[in-house]
Structure 1
Amino acid sequence: MKRESNNIYVAGIGASAGGVEALQALFKRMPQNAGIAYIVVQHLSPDYKSYMKTLLQRCTEMPIIQAEDGMEVEADTVYLNSPGYNLEMEGNVFKNTPMDAEQIVQHPIDTLFRSIASSCGKNAIGIILSGCGSDGSLGIRAIKEEGGMVMAQDAITAQFGSMPRSSIATGSVDYILSPEKMGQTLLAYIKHPYIQGHRLLEEVTKDKNAMNMFTEVLRILKEHTGVDFSYYKETTILRRLERRVSINRCKSVNEYYKILTESEDERNTLFKEMLIGVTSFFRDKEAFSSLEHHVIPNLDYTRPQIRVWSCACSTGEEVYSTAILLSEYIEKNRLNCSYKIFATDVDPVAVEIA
């Protein structure tokens, strides 16, 4: 259940090797009363004695607390994870779960970010700092799917740049900055009128000039990508457009339109954001139940091969869900039949992930 209505922004901060210096630089410039809860997750061995609370207390006046199971998340507070536990949000409280000792590679940052995305929706913020590996790269996509915002440390400023670089490579990062510059950028973002609740839909409905600019934005996208977004759900398009106007700190659609006409990078970014779809394994329970109980049993298994075409497959979760159901049915009924699934999507990045 998303708790966007509580107006608390929750910033998940992932750091690993070299992360102490980055965290100190971040919190020295971080606003003290911005209405944001900060949750810091590091890669810690189970028997590690952390001095992070002491180190960060020198950099901020905000209270720094070890997150405990069942504790309520509050704004203007810094929370730290415990060694040997995955830290998650469930609604507006913390959940600590022991890590699987047999699992060689742990991804506590991905785990936290997914839970923040699920619990906070558009109020979710993900920040990736110095570290090795790729932890966080999947979690930031979940945050973007829910309309949240993502920052990553500029790899040039990081002691260990692989974690920021992996996140940046996903195309889901909104700001690439040194830790010192993140605080003011974050504050400017959450204070933007569109983020505060002013709706572009109201402007487009009431202001003829805003409507014309909106139409022009769609025209530019069609000209640049070949995809006509005028047939898409208008409210969804407007929400995506609001995000880009906010990210670019524009005061109006007119100002953003100028950036869009001049910047190929921005046109590509807006196109990618228009295509971000919320997906997960067996996401639409009713649809997959119908597929399992009514469609798959009635296919013609006398044929040597069953073929399925999954349109708009996104990153592939629903495709693999279909494959699981087919495999289970064929195996359960000992059928001498194979299957092939064709999956297509207009977003090449999503297809590559799939």
Structure 2
Amino acid sequence: MIRDAETLQQLIDTLSRFVRERLVPAEQQVAENDAIPDDIIAEMKAMGLFGLSIPEQYGGLGLTMEEEVLVAFELGRTSPAFRSLMGTNNGIGAQGILIDGTEEQKQRYVPQLATGDVIGAFCLTEPDVGSDSGAVKTRARRDGEHYILNGTKRFITNGPHAGLFTVMARTNADIPGGGGVSAFIVEGDTPGITRGKADVKMGQKGAHTCDIIFDNCRVPAANIIGGQEGLGFKTAMKVLDRGRLHISAVCVGVAMRLIDDAVAFAMERQQFGKPIIEHQLIQAMLADSRAEAFAGRSMVLEAARSKDRGERVSLDASCCKLFCSEMVGRVADRAVQIHGGAGYMAEYPVERFYRDVRLFRIYEGTTQIQQIVIARELARQAASA
């Protein structure tokens, strides 16, 4: 639901200009140095980008889901690294606290995330636990007024920089699956935390991940989200609905950037005596890409509006994540093909985006997990009809 169309349009126009004038020109530098320049990070903080979806009472902009995806369409038009840095603060790094945390927890931690003064991270995945997220092995043992955490989390986005972790750990070994898992707020300087070396990835340079190792890490019992054991898995699943819609919107934005780049190249590149955009097979690839991107945009907007109406959107969010992440991969492939040999060269952004977008089909739930979620939800609906 859009609350004030004029104000939102001003935000989108400002962000669009920031993307074009500041972020796009810095993409190659970020890719080469594997780091976002400090001055750009400072500008992102000043614009309030770290608190887009955080309620105003905690220092954020308080965007609705529809407003957030419209903003994400613009953020998707540049390197995913920029969005990744502030995305966890708006999404998985803060939403668990906002959804199920106590008021004291919200007041203490969320304002720091909204300003970007603290970077948040979400610790769920482990070396042997990925798609089966209910099989968490990291343990949290009660010891008086503390819990002692032991275990390793893997591929943690913003792990090298995070000052605040939302950690899923098993508090009851006798309860199988997600029922024995609790969520903890863990400050980044807590003794017993070790950060592994930054992962070397296929793409998304400038967006950093690493292992987070907990070795007898003492966390105050007051930091269990919601003040109750056994709710961590449910909290994680609630967080994912919003995250999947956000990532879907980013995929649409990236697809539109790739289409724009492919059209510009096709209008300049000549073969057989005319620009290649006049060749029907090139036109077909562009048309298919634009149609799929439009379909993705429409899906995301409809699901976002449903969420703002308070409807259950787990099925629709998974449909969006499934379609949009697969769609942007196809668009990237066509963009490289339209560029021909140039598309395989690092000189052109499509080469980098081709590698960057591959990750969208994996995180926030793989394509195969989305298929399972969709099928199970259909069965649930049929059984209850």
Tell me if TM exceeds 0.5.
Answer: no
Q: More relative contact order in 1 or in 2 (CA 8 Å, sep 6+)?
A: 2
Scaled by the length of structure 1, the TM-score of the pair is 0.30
Decide which structure has greater helix share.
2
Structure number, greater radius of gyration? 1
